[in-house]
Amino acid sequence: MAVETVPCTAYEDQKPGTSGLRKSVRHFQQPDYLQTFVQAIFNAVPELRGGLLVLGGDGRYFNREAIQVILRMAAANGVARILVGKGGILSTPAASNLIRKYQATGGIILSASHNPGGPDGDFGIKYNSSNGGPAPENLTNLFFEHASKLSEYYITAIQPVPLDKPGHYEIEGLRVEVIDPVDDYAELMATLFDFERIRALLAGDFSLRFDAMHAVTGPYAQRILEQTLGAARGTVMHFEPLADFGGHHPDPNQAHARELMELLYNPRKVDFGAASDGDGDRNMILGHYFFVTPSDSLAIIAANAHLIPGYRNGLKGVARSMPTSQAVDRVAEKLGIACHETPTGWKFFGNLLDDGQITLCGEESFGTGSDHIREKDGLWAVLFWLNLLAVRQESVEDIVRRHWADHGRHYYSRHDYEAIATPAANTLMTHLRQQFDELPGKVIHGKTVCQADDFTYHDPVDHSASHHQGIRILFEDGARLIFRLSGTGTQGATLRLYLEQYEADVKNHDQDVQAALAPLIQIAETLALIRTFTGRDAPTVIT
Ligand code: G1P
Ligand code: ZN
């Protein structure tokens, strides 16, 4: 085989963040930038030699070129077999499923998730291990180590693989199988949910819209919702994956899925609305004139899991990321199961899932999932809700309100200050840390602080510790303020402020969310001097 050894200069900034290596497209287009990181993966995971690799991405700009480069490098690095999605497409959950189902050594997923795409947008690459989940921190650190000292990479000079034609190709000892990206995933969903019942729901006067945001879930949602479950044609909006997502942020939240929001907040009744992100792992759930916070969605999914075929036998336990509201904790307590609190990022759920300690997990950032794969799963959450609506025959709003009546309501919101100057963001965090000692016991705007710290996670399975996972200010009444700097942004720093206030009394469950959180918002400003440090009067995005 004609393997070319290419000398290269190492890049020193290839440290994966919350979810893989994510940079602007232009950054990735620097000479050999992609190649050095890919070689670092091959060097760090020697089992890939002779192994099976799953490969695909969310279809964004640079996806196709990157796939051809990785195929050539895989051949040179001795990979035996590759499953690649047709057109280079694989949603993150579908890739996770393929890795598990075909017992692959691992997978490479090309995506910058919900970040914008196109030549001026972002690109990303992440490696998933044989359990189907994102590489844990020790492995991503190893990628970084290898990348920082790399002096050469290996590549073959093969013809581009025809990605648009399913079939098998033999290239220099590497067997490339171009597969339908939807088949295996659709099959898995049918094993978890009562498709007959959902079909019956959709055959009635129930109406729904799903916004694929011109990202990867279009083909998945059309196949499952329209072709299999019988939803009306046109149910799936923005179904065609586009390299630049039509110029939008493929982020399923109230700010970015504006067209969908307008359809649901409209007298012409649509019963259910949902959206997914760039790579298909996030979800937003809406009812008529009603938004379900992701934290509530996780809690409601946990509380109702016994009604869904795949979860009929009960839950082993649940987990949420630290900033996610504590709504699911209350459900776990009632069910008598464990609830784990992990740092932000799906990779921290992997050990708990593999070890059989949890069945469900989720994050406030529109991510929910279960032990069926090792990634969060947008369409899975949508199907879960549809199955639940079909069983309970109530509206989305009624289900959520009943849940609040039973468990209390966690008023919750996240305020993002995007693209602020990195030194300013660091100073703000330091300013907060300096107050840790004096805060406990202090009364601020009428609320008493009981604890202030930097969150550290001790993994109960591998006993590793992850430090500095967000600043927590906890109050005596259960309210919380969390401050974190994003690990996925590509410009400057993004400050995330998470606000949570518990309200037990059903008489107080009708407040506007921002109004209910106003006292906490004021305390956050007093403690963190956000305006002073960031120079911003208001958050960029509120979810
Ligand atoms: C964000 C979310 C986090 C999620 C990640 C990947 O990370 O906050 O929950 O796991 O995207 O989708 P962050 O930018 O906050 O580091
Ligand atoms: Zn995503």
Which token pair is 257? 């899925």
Q: How many angstroms does the Cα of residue 207 sit away from the middle of ligand 1?
A: 31
Indicate if 312 and 371 belong to the same structural domain: yes
Domain boundary among 373, 407, 441: 407
Domain boundary among 361, 384, 407: 407
**Phi, psi dihedrals of residue 219, rounded to the nearest 5°:** -65, -35
Q: How many angstroms does the Cα of residue 41 sit away from the middle of ligand 2?
A: 21
Indicate if 490 and 355 belong to the same structural domain: no
Assess whether the C-beta atom of 344 lies below 6 angstroms from ligand 1: yes
pLDDT in tens, the chain (543 residues): 689 999 999 999 999 987 899 999 999 999 999 999 999 999 999 999 999 999 999 999 999 999 999 999 999 999 999 999 999 999 999 999 999 999 999 999 999 999 999 999 999 999 999 999 999 889 999 999 999 999 999 999 988 999 999 999 998 889 999 999 999 999 999 999 999 999 999 999 999 999 999 999 999 999 999 999 999 999 999 999 999 999 999 999 999 999 999 999 999 999 999 999 999 999 999 999 999 999 999 999 999 999 999 999 999 999 999 999 999 999 999 999 999 999 999 989 999 999 999 999 999 999 999 999 999 999 999 999 999 999 999 999 999 999 999 999 999 999 999 999 999 999 999 999 999 999 999 999 999 999 999 999 999 999 999 999 999 999 999 999 999 999 887 789 999 999 999 999 999 999 999 999 999 999 999 999 999 999 999 999 999
Ligand 1 atom nearest the C-alpha of 18 is 16
Assess whether the C-beta atom of 113 lies below 6 angstroms from ligand 1: yes
Indicate if 230 and 301 belong to the same structural domain: yes
Q: How many angstroms does the Cα of residue 312 sit away from the middle of ligand 1?
A: 30
Assess whether the C-beta atom of 541 lies below 6 angstroms from ligand 1: no
Tell me which residue has its CA closest to atom 3 in ligand 1: 345
Tell me the CATH number at 287: 3.40.120.10
Indicate if 170 and 215 belong to the same structural domain: no
Which token pair is 162? 């025809």
Tell me which residue has its CA closest to atom 5 in ligand 1: 345
Q: How many angstroms does the Cα of residue 489 sit away from the middle of ligand 1?
A: 9
Assess whether the C-beta atom of 116 lies below 6 angstroms from ligand 1: no
Q: How many angstroms does the Cα of residue 355 sit away from the middle of ligand 2?
A: 24
Q: How many angstroms does the Cα of residue 91 sit away from the middle of ligand 2?
A: 9
Assess whether the C-beta atom of 14 lies below 6 angstroms from ligand 1: no
Assess whether the C-beta atom of 365 lies below 6 angstroms from ligand 1: yes
Ligand 1 atom nearest the C-alpha of 496 is 15
Indicate if 141 and 238 belong to the same structural domain: no
Indicate if 448 and 373 belong to the same structural domain: no
Q: How far apart are CA 371 and CA 375, in angstroms?
A: 9
Tell me which residue has tokens 């050894």: 5
Indicate if 402 and 455 belong to the same structural domain: no
Of 256, 341, 363, 497, the residue with max ligand 1 atoms within 8 A of its CB, to mutate for a pocket test, comes to: 363
Tell me which residue has its CA closest to atom 4 in ligand 1: 345
Q: Which domain holds residue 304?
A: 185-407
Q: How many angstroms does the Cα of residue 114 sit away from the middle of ligand 1?
A: 10
Indicate if 114 and 244 belong to the same structural domain: no
Domain boundary among 146, 181, 216: 181
> For the sheet containing 167-171, what is the strand order?
21-24, 122-128, 106-110, 52-57, 81-89, 174-179, 167-171
Tell me which residue has its CA closest to atom 15 in ligand 1: 486
Indicate if 91 and 151 belong to the same structural domain: yes
Find the ligand nearest to 483 CA: 1
Question: Domains in the chain: how many in total?
Answer: 3
Assess whether the C-beta atom of 345 lies below 6 angstroms from ligand 1: yes
Q: How far apart are CA 403 and CA 296, in angstroms?
A: 9
E strands present in 191-261: 208-211, 236-237
Tell me which residue has its CA closest to atom 10 in ligand 1: 345
Q: How many angstroms does the Cα of residue 386 sit away from the middle of ligand 2?
A: 21
Find the ligand nearest to 249 CA: 2
Indicate if 296 and 169 belong to the same structural domain: no
Ligand 1 atom nearest the C-alpha of 113 is 12
Indicate if 331 and 193 belong to the same structural domain: yes
Supply the DSSP symbol for 284: E
Supply the DSSP symbol for 134: B
Q: What is the pLDDT of residue 1?
A: 66
Number of H helices and E strands in the chain, helices first, is 18, 27
Q: Which residues contact residue 227 at a Cβ distance below 8 angstroms, ignoring those fewer than 6 apart?
A: none
Ligand 1 atom nearest the C-alpha of 19 is 6
Find the ligand nearest to 364 CA: 1
Q: Which residues contact residue 79 at a Cβ distance below 8 angstroms, ignoring those fewer than 6 apart?
A: 48, 49, 50, 51, 52, 53, 174
Of 92, 324, 347, 365, the residue with max ligand 1 atoms within 8 A of its CB, to mutate for a pocket test, comes to: 365
Indicate if 250 and 329 belong to the same structural domain: yes
Contact at 8 Å (CB) between 342 and 357?
no
Report the catalytic residues: 113
Q: How far apart are CA 99 and CA 130, in angstroms?
A: 6
- Encode 13-30: b = buried (16+ Cβ within 10 Å), e = exposed: ebebbbbbbbbbbeebee
